[in-house]
């Protein structure tokens, strides 16, 4: 590997960690595996990150931010379509991110560093949903029936609940049912 300054090497390691997470999941994120992917010595990972947990959490947060940016960027022009995209992706390219999110939710129960990262990413998601709702209210596309922050949490709660059912074998929630329920809750919460 050519010479990289401190920030570039740290970013290379972080990008490798993100790649491992997306390809193989959070549990595959060992220092050795990340170092091999980044083409650096394992000691370099320890040099740039206080712990493997810190690296895992930072990579997870960066990936969730990336996922939210993709959802916002690739949504339609209307606020309703953009809000729907923030709540329920129909884009197969986001499936690795969604699998990672589900895995982080489970691992957060026993990993304090990951729990803080997961909590932070839920706040990121909530902030984006609040922003999108407020833009819709300001533009006259949404009717504000309650505090925007509360509406956003309810929408997220419905999505998380539906996702929990969606992943079950033989679930009654398929892609079209998922879409129908999300459209219904948006209608109920924000449209007259």
pLDDT of residue 175: 85
pLDDT of residue 2: 61
Q: What angle do CA 26, 29, 33 make, to 5 degrees?
A: 150
Rounded CA-CA distance 152/63 in Å is 21
pLDDT of residue 91: 67
CB 22 within 8 A of CB 93: no
CB 72 within 8 A of CB 82: yes
pLDDT of residue 57: 96
Q: Is 124 exposed, middle or buried (0-12, 13-18, 19+ CB in 10 A)?
A: middle
Split the chain (192 residues) into runs of 10 and give each run's mean pLDDT: 76 95 94 94 91 94 92 79 85 84 93 96 96 94 95 96 87 86 95 82
| Domains in the chain: ranges and CATH | 1-49 (1.10.10.60), 53-190 (1.10.357.10)
Rounded CA-CA distance 11/103 in Å is 24
């Amino acid at each position: 590997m050519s010479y990289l300054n401190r920030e570039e090497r740290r970013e290379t390691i972080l990008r490798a960690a993100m790649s491992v997470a997306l390809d193989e999941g959070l549990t595959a994120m060992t220092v050795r595996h990340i170092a091999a992917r980044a083409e650096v010595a394992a000691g370099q990972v320890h040099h740039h990150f206080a712990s493997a947990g810190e690296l895992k959490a930072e990579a997870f947060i960066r990936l969730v931010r990336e996922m939210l940016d993709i959802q916002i960027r690739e949504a339609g022009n209307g606020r309703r379509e953009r809000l729907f995209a923030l709540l329920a992706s129909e884009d197969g390219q986001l499936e690795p991110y969604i699998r990672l999110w589900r895995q982080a939710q489970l691992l957060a129960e026993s990993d304090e560093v990951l729990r803080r990262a997961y909590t932070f990413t839920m706040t990121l998601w909530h902030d984006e949903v609040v922003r999108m709702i407020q833009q819709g209210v300001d533009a006259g596309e949404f009717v504000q029936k309650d505090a925007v922050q509360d509406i956003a949490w309810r929408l997220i709660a419905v999505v998380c609940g539906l996702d929990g059912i969606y992943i079950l074998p033989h679930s009654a929630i398929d892609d079209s049912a998922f879409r129908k329920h999300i459209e219904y809750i948006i209608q109920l919460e924000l449209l007259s």
